[in-house]
Amino acid sequence: MKVLLLTGRTVEQGREKERSKFSREYMESVAACYVDEDDMKRLKIDENSNIQITTSLGSVILKARKSLRAPHAGAVFIPYGAWANLLMGSETDSVGMPSFKGVPAEIEPSPDDEVLSLEDLVKKHYRKA
Amino acid sequence: MPRISNVTCPVCGCLCDDIEVTVEGNTITEARNACAVSEGKFLYHQDHRLLKPLVRKEGKLVESSLDEAIRKSAEILAKASYPILYGWSCTSCEAIRVGLELAEEVGGVIDNTSTVCHGPSILSIQDVGIATCTLGQIKHRADVVVYWGSNPWSAHPRHLERYTAFTEGKFQRSERRRYVSRLGSSSTLKRLLRAAKLALKRGLRMPESPKASPESELSRKGRKMIVVDTRKTRSAEIADYFIQVQPNKDYELLEALRMLIRDEELDLKEVAGVPTDQLEEVADVLIGCEFGILFFGVGLTMSEGKLRNIDAALSLVRDLNHYTKFLIMPMRGHYNVSGANIVFTWQTGYPYAVDFSHGYPRYNPGETSVVDILRRGESDAGLVVASDPVSNFPQKAVQNLVRNPLIVIDPHPTPTSILADVVFPSTFVGIETEGTAYRMDRVPLPLKKVIEPPGGILSDEEILGRILLEVRRIKGGH
C-alpha cells in the first residue's frame, strides 16, 4: 500500500532517549510504525505484527501499531530514530535540510522478518572503513 | 537533604527554570515541576553512561587514558583537510565558543543541529524578517495561540503550562480547567467505545467532532488555542480548534489564509483538505484577536516547501499586523540550539553551516551544511559533540560520516559513539557542569551544577580546550 511517511517526536521517545538508546524501552518507543486503523484492515495486519516500510532510499522492518492520532488514512507515523532514518534521503533541495516528513513510501505485511535491535541495525547498515 | 530551587532544565527549548531538585549524597532523588522527559534526564542520567575515554585499536574500542584520547583526536583533526565539527545544541555556550575556535584552527566546517531542524526557518527569517517577542509577553497578553506543525504536548511538554494556554497571565486567564475537562470527556468517550467494542465484539467509531464551526468554538472570550497539523496530535485534542492539513500542503493552506486575510476571493471549496468556509472563519478569528502568536514547528521545515513554508508563515503574520498585533516564533527543540545559533553568529557572523576551509568564515547552506557535505562524501574526519547523527541523519550521510575517523564527546554511549574512533565521556551540562543556554525566545539563562560528576570526567568545554591546545602544539611543530 502506498502511503506518505511522517516522522516526529513522542513523549515516550523523548523520555527514553534521555535514559539509554540501547534499552528495550527505547526500542519499543521508536521501532514502531503508527498506522490508521482502516489502513490496517486493508492490509490485513494486526497490532504489533511486523511490517516492512520501503522508500526509494531504503527499507526497514517495524512493529505495526494502531494510531491513536487517527484518522489519517494514507499516512503513517514513525518516531524519530535510527530505524526511521534508514528510509530518508540525504538530498536537501539545496537548503541543508533533508525531507523527514511527507515522504512517499510503501508498507506491506512482513510476518517472517524480525525487527532489528539498534546494535544489529548499526552493524548491518554502517561499517567503519 | 539539600533541595536546590530555580534549576534550569537542560532538555528542550522551553528551558523551564523552576525545577526543584532534591539531592541525597551525590544523587538526584526528586525533580519537582519537571515534565516526563526532564524527570528522565534528572533522575536517570547516571544509568548507562560512559566513564572512561575509548580509542579504537585493531578495530575495537578499548579504554584509554585521557591524554592518549586527546593526542589521538588532535592528530585526526590536525591531519584532516576538510573535517566537520557537528552537534553543539546540547551543550553550553561556553563549550560552543571553544568549538568555534577549534574549527577555525583546523580549517573545518562547523555546523549545529539547527541544520536538520529550524535551518530553513533561519534562511527564511534572513529573507523575510520576523515579528517576534519573548515568551513572557505571550504569557501575559496572547489571546489567540496557534501551533502550526508543532506538537508541544509531546516535544515541549510544559510550553502550554508555562507560556500559553494553561498559564495565568496578567491580562489573560489560564484555560487549563476547560482544556482538562475537554480532554477528560474525550478520554471517557474513548474508554466507553473500547468497552462497547469488547461487549459487542465489533468496532465502533468515535463520532465526528461536534465542533464543526470554528466560529462556534472560537467566538467566546478568553484565550483560544488553534492547532494545525497533519495528524490529530495530543496537542490537537485539547485545542479549541483543530485544522487537519494534508501532508505537504502547508504552503497552500498558509497562502490561502493570506488571501482571505487580505480580502481576496478564494474560488475553491477547499484547500489542503480544509473547507474554505471554515478557513474564512479562522481568518476572522486571527484578525479579530488583540494579541496573537503563531508558534511553528518542524512540521513546516521538514516537509515539502521547507523554507518557503516559513516564508508563507512569516508573511501571514506580517499581513495580520495590518489589522492587529500578531507575532511568530519557531519552537526550538534542543535546550541550547538557539544558543548555538547565537554563539556561532557572534563569532563568525553566521548562525550555522560555517566553513573555515578558506581561512575565513563562509556560509552557504546547501553547500556548507553538514548533510550536503556528507552526501557528497567530501569530509575526511568528524568531531561530534553532544549529538547523535547516526540516529538522526539519513542513511547515506551516516555511511560517509562513519567511514572517516570520528571523534565523539558525549556523556552517554550512542549509536554514533559505538562507531567512533575516539570517545570522550563528558559531564552533563546543567546537572554536573554550569554554563549558559538560550531559551527559544533568545533569552539567556544560567544552567546550574547540582551534583558532582564522576571522578576524572571533564566537561565538553574542558575536553575541547585540551584538544585545541594539542592541535596547536602539533601544528606549531612543538
For β-strands B354-355 and B362-363, DSSP reports them as antiparallel
pLDDT at B49 over 60: yes
Are A96 and B396 in contact (CB < 8 Å)? no
Same domain, B73 and B221: no
Residue B188's alpha-carbon distances to A110, B197, B240, in angstroms, are 35, 14, 18
Q: Which amino acid is at B15?
A: L
CA distance A8 to chain B (A): 8
When pLDDT is cut at 50, 70 and 90, the band that residue B122 belongs to is: very high
Are B151 and A75 in contact (CB < 8 Å)? no
When pLDDT is cut at 50, 70 and 90, the band that residue B210 belongs to is: very low
Residues belonging to chain A: 129
User: Which of B330, B355, B388 is the C-terminal boundary of a domain?
Assistant: B330
**Enclosing domain of residue A62:** 2-125
| The pLDDT of residue B72 | 98
Q: Which three cell numbers stand for residue B442?
A: 533568545
* Residue B243 resides in a domain: yes
Cα nearest neighbour of B399 on chain A = A126
Same domain, B65 and B133: no
Cβ contacts of B358-366, under 8 Å, gap ≥ 24? B359/B107, B361/B104, B365/A95, B365/A96, B365/B115, B365/B119, B365/B123, B366/A92, B366/A93, B366/A94, B366/A95, B366/A96
Indicate the residue of A23, A69, A91 with minimum beta-carbon distance to B231: A69
The mean pLDDT value for B239-245 works out to 94
Indicate the residue of A21, A102, A119 with minimum beta-carbon distance to B303: A102
* Residue B441 resides in a domain: no
Where residue B265 sits, what CATH number does that domain have?
Answer: 3.40.228.10
Are B403 and A129 in contact (CB < 8 Å)? yes
* Residue B364 resides in a domain: yes
Same domain, B251 and B315: yes
pLDDT at B319 over 60: yes
Same domain, B259 and B298: yes
Q: What's the DSSP call for residue B322? A: T
The mean pLDDT value for B434-452 works out to 98
Where residue A21 sits, what CATH number does that domain have?
Answer: 2.40.40.20
Are A82 and B402 in contact (CB < 8 Å)? no
Q: Which amino acid is at B478?
A: H
pLDDT at B60 over 80: yes
Mean pLDDT of chain A: 93
Same domain, B282 and B344: no
Q: Which residues of A touch B301 (CB under 8 A)?
A: 97
Strands (E), B49-208: 54-57, 60-63, 83-87, 109-112, 144-148
Are B412 and A21 in contact (CB < 8 Å)? yes
Q: Which three cell numbers stand for residue B269?
A: 471549496
- Sequential DSSP letters for B96-139: HHHHHHHHHHHT-EEEEGGGGTTHHHHHHHHHH------HHHHH
Are A19 and B47 in contact (CB < 8 Å)? yes
Same domain, B87 and B166: no
Cα nearest neighbour of A128 on chain B = B403
Whether A55 has its CB under 8 Å from any CB of chain B: the answer is no
pLDDT at A28 over 70: yes
Closest CA to B135 of B125, B145, B126, B127: B145
* Count of domains observed in chain B: 2
* Count of domains observed in chain A: 1
pLDDT over 70 percentage in chain A: 99
CB of B193 within 8 A of CB of A48?
no
Residue B88's alpha-carbon distances to B234, B388, B436, in angstroms, are 30, 11, 13
Cα nearest neighbour of A121 on chain B = B415
Q: Which residues of B touch A55 (CB under 8 A)?
A: none
Torsion sign over Cα B101, B67, A22, B450: negative
Mean pLDDT of chain B: 93
pLDDT over 90 percentage in chain B: 86
The b-or-e profile of B266-281 (16+ CB within 10 A means b, else e) is beeeebbebeeebbeb
Same domain, B80 and B136: no
In which residue are the cell numbers 549529538 written?
Answer: B387
When pLDDT is cut at 50, 70 and 90, the band that residue B221 belongs to is: confident
* Residue B230 resides in a domain: yes
CA distance B144 to chain A (A): 24
Give me the total of CB pairs closer than 8 Å, taking one residue from chain A and one from chain B: 193
Are A20 and B372 in contact (CB < 8 Å)? no
The mean pLDDT value for B407-415 works out to 95
Indicate the residue of B234, B366, B402 with minimum beta-carbon distance to A95: B366
CA distance A111 to chain B (A): 24
User: Which of B314, B330, B346 is the C-terminal boundary of a domain?
Assistant: B330
| The pLDDT of residue A3 | 95
In which residue are the cell numbers 501571514 written?
Answer: B316
pTM: 0.92
Residue partners of A115: CB distance under 8 A and separation at least 6: A27, A31, A50, A61, A62, A63, A83
| The pLDDT of residue B181 | 75
Same domain, B71 and B110: yes
> Which of A47, A95, A119, A125 to probe the B interface (max B CBs under 10 A)?
A95
A51-71 pLDDT tens trace: 999 999 999 999 999 998 888
pLDDT at B401 over 70: yes
Look at residue A36 and give its three-state secondary structure: coil
Q: Which residue has the higher pLDDT, B411 or A128?
A: B411
Q: Which residues of A touch B307 (CB under 8 A)?
A: 95
| The pLDDT of residue B184 | 72
B468-477 pLDDT tens trace: 999 999 998 7
Q: Which three cell numbers stand for residue A19?
A: 535514559
Are B391 and A77 in contact (CB < 8 Å)? no
| The pLDDT of residue B206 | 46
Q: Which three cell numbers stand for residue B164?
A: 500559553
| The pLDDT of residue B438 | 98
* Residue B442 resides in a domain: no
* Residue B437 resides in a domain: no
Q: Which three cell numbers stand for residue B450?
A: 547540582
Separation between Cα atoms, residue B322 and residue B299, nearest integer Å: 27
Closest CA to B253 of B117, B167, B148: B148
| The pLDDT of residue B207 | 46
Q: Which residues of B touch A101 (CB under 8 A)?
A: 230, 247-248, 298-299, 302-303
Where residue B401 sits, what CATH number does that domain have?
Answer: 3.40.50.740
| The pLDDT of residue B220 | 76
Q: Which residues of A touch B392 (CB under 8 A)?
A: 80, 85
B157-207 pLDDT tens trace: 999 999 999 999 999 988 888 777 777 766 666 666 666 555 555 554 544
Q: Which three cell numbers stand for residue A68?
A: 491513536
Paired residues of A77 in beta bridges: A6, A34
Interface of A with B in 62-81 (CB under 8 A): 67, 69-72, 75, 77, 80-81
User: Which of B275, B306, B330 is the C-terminal boundary of a domain?
Assistant: B330
CB of B404 within 8 A of CB of B380?
yes
Same domain, B465 and B405: yes
Same domain, B91 and B237: no
B342-360 pLDDT tens trace: 999 999 999 999 999 999 9
Same domain, B92 and B235: no
The mean pLDDT value for B113-137 works out to 96
* Residue B247 resides in a domain: yes
Q: Which residues of A touch B415 (CB under 8 A)?
A: 21, 82, 118, 122
Interface of A with B in 3-42 (CB under 8 A): 4, 6-11, 14-16, 18-23, 37
The mean pLDDT value for B423-441 works out to 98
Indicate the residue of A18, A21, A119 with minimum beta-carbon distance to B40: A18
Count of CB atoms within 10 A of residue B478's CB? 6
| The pLDDT of residue B108 | 98
| The pLDDT of residue B47 | 84
**Enclosing domain of residue B291:** 121-173+213-330
Closest CA to B303 of B370, B368, B249: B249
Separation between Cα atoms, residue B108 and residue B98, nearest integer Å: 14
Compute φ and ψ for B177, nearest 5 degrees: -60, -45
Q: Which residues of B touch A100 (CB under 8 A)?
A: 116, 298, 302
Cα nearest neighbour of B40 on chain A = A15
Same domain, B396 and B422: yes
CA distance A13 to chain B (A): 9
Q: Which three cell numbers stand for residue A25?
A: 524501552
CB of A113 within 8 A of CB of A43?
no
Alpha helices in B262-363 (DSSP H): 276-288, 298-301, 307-320, 337-348
When pLDDT is cut at 50, 70 and 90, the band that residue B144 belongs to is: very high
When pLDDT is cut at 50, 70 and 90, the band that residue B5 belongs to is: very high
